[in-house]
């Protein structure tokens, strides 16, 4: 019996339909984990919901580096735009951690600092209207640097909050959903923003995107404010409640002792190994960061539409791969995934130098994001797992300060070298540094801390032991 022609025509569509149905079922399964009426479920719901408006905002705001470049910024100013915010984080993270250690209710600080930091997008939008063109680029970079000050406090509280409101067995699901939602929103927003920029006069096009980004970002802040967050009680607070100190007792002082440093390094070896490997690996990424904009826009003369398409494809890669990586992490573990995917991180700067044409660059960016998605999900989970819950604020402040030292120094080193020996050669060097850092994850693996390590001494951070 002959098969009808319409059946033959639809046969290739059947596997695609089944694949899409399976993908929708997996997404539904992940989302079901965050439905319910418990406080934890509601908190995780808002953590997923707030990422949607900020995702659309991020796609529009991702062109601010190009905006500054087209306003006449030099290579040195582009490097400063990457390094000086890190300096602000270095200066303000540890004081913010100490401030939060003495504050019982963190939520108002988290919401206010996030809202204040996002007002910067409104100010960036109006800069070309109120300042001469020759200083607009410097003014926008200055605003971006100032924005890092409230963000330093927010990031300390936000990471602590995630560790407190999200159970360990649900972190990979939370990170996978947040990553998928963020990437899907950025993909749509970046593509449309690139088309918009090429069709509207400069600088009005970038100003409109910043106004839209400001409105969406503040709606995200409104959703963050719905998270019901009560920080976990620190053991020192319990002791203070049961045995209050005399009124005239001397206040603890910040001191430095080499013995304390050696003890901290020994007791928190997984944290030390993780920090060293991450610092070296990400140092190459931080150095290459400002050079990508210079290389793609100034040297290859790629259009805003191409930049938008490249960002969109990268975000599609995240949406496609995040559920798959989540399943692999469930089977193999976070550290297993990090130690393997990190080995490929240094290839991206090499490949874009070796294949500097629009079409291959799109394919390379897509493939690179497939790999980076796994690191983004698993790396943070490993980080939260190896630090004691009762001392999370101090560890996060220590790690954040160390990482931002690298984020500050790397662009300041890479950008001047690019002016001397060319941008492509420095990109190749940055890729080599990333590969070196990737090998450190194998040489000094950050094995997860075993339960029951929360009674050990505080780590020594930034050349001094911090007493809470």
Indicate the CATH number for domain 39-232+257-465: 1.20.1250.20
Q: Which residue, chain included where needed, has tokens 């096009």?
A: 205
- Mean pLDDT (whole number) for 250-278: 65
State pLDDT tens for residues 195-233. Answer: 899 888 888 999 999 999 999 999 999 998 888 876 554
Concatenating the DSSP letter of every residue in 345-398 gives: TTHHHHHHHH--SHHHHHHHHHHHHHHHHHHHHHHHHHHHHTS-GGGHHHHHHH
Question: What is the radius of gyration, based on Cα positions, of the chain?
Answer: 23
Which range among 351-365, 387-401, 433-447 shows the weakest confidence by mean pLDDT? 387-401
How do the domains of the chain map onto residue ranges? Answer: 39-232+257-465
Q: How many residues does the chain have?
A: 468
How high is the mean pLDDT of the chain? 79
Spatial neighbors of 132 by CB under 8 A, at least 6 apart, are: none
Letter string b/e over residues 166-194, b meaning 16 or more CB atoms within 10 A of that residue's CB: beeeebbbbbbbbbbbbbbbbbbbbbbbb
> Which residues contact residue 117 at a Cβ distance below 8 angstroms, ignoring those fewer than 6 apart?
147, 150, 151, 154
| Percent of the chain whose predicted confidence (pLDDT) is above 70 | 78
Share of residues in the chain with pLDDT > 90 (%) = 25
Rounded to whole angstroms, the Cα distance separating 248 from 26 reads 60
465, β-bridge pairs: 255, 460
The confidence score (pLDDT) of residue 277 equals 92
At residue 202, φ and ψ (nearest 5 deg) are: -85, 140
pLDDT value of residue 430: 95
pTM of the model: 0.65
**Higher-confidence position of 441 and 39:** 441
């Amino acid at each position: 019996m002959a098969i009808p022609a319409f059946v033959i025509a639809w046969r290739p569509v059947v596997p695609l339909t089944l694949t899409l149905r399976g993908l929708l079922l997996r997404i539904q399964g992940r989302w079901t984990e965050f439905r319910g009426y418990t406080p934890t479920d509601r908190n995780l719901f808002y953590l997923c919901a707030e990422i949607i408006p900020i995702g659309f905002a991020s796609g529009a705001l991702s062109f601010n580096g190009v905006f500054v470049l087209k306003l006449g910024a030099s290579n040195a100013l582009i490097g400063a735009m990457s390094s000086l915010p890190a300096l602000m984080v270095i200066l303000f993270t540890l004081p913010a951690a100490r401030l939060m250690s003495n504050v019982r209710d963190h939520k108002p600080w988290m919401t206010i600092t996030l809202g204040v930091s996002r007002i910067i997008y409104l100010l960036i939008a109006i800069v070309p209207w109120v300042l001469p063109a020759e200083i607009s680029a410097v003014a926008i970079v200055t605003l971006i640097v100032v924005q890092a000050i409230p963000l330093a406090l927010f990031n300390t509280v936000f990471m602590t909050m995630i560790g407190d409101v999200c159970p360990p067995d649900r972190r990979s699901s939370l990170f996978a959903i947040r990553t998928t939602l963020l990437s899907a929103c950025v993909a749509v927003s970046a593509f449309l923003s690139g088309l918009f920029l090429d069709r509207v006069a400069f600088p009005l096009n970038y100003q409109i995107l910043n106004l839209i980004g400001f409105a969406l970002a503040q709606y995200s802040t409104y959703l963050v404010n719905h998270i019901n967050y009560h920080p976990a009680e620190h053991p020192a607070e319990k002791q203070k409640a049961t045995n209050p100190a005399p009124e005239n007792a001397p206040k603890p002082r910040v001191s430095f002792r080499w013995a304390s440093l050696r003890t901290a390094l020994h007791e928190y070896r997984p944290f030390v190994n993780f920090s060293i490997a991450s610092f070296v690996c990400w140092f190459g990424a931080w150095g290459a960061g400002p050079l990508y904009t210079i290389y793609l826009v100034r040297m290859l003369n790629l259009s805003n539409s191409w930049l938008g398409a490249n960002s969109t494809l990268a975000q599609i890669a995240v949406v496609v791969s995040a559920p798959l990586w989540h399943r692999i992490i469930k089977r193999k573990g976070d550290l297993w995934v990090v130690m393997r995917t990190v080995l490929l991180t240094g290839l991206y700067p090499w490949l874009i130098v070796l294949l500097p044409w629009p079409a291959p660059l799109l394919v390379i960016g897509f493939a690179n994001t497939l790999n980076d998605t796994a690191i983004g999900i698993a790396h943070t989970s490993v980080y939260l797992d190896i630090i004691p819950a009762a001392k999370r604020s101090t560890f996060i402040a220590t790690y954040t300060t160390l990482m931002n030292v690298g984020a500050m120094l790397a662009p300041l080193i890479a950008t001047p070298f690019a002016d001397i020996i060319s941008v492509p050669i420095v990109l190749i060097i940055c890729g080599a540094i990333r590969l070196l850092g990737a090998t450190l994850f194998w040489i000094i693996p950050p094995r997860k801390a075993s339960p029951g390590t929360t009674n050990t001494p505080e780590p020594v951070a930034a050349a001094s032991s911090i007493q809470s």
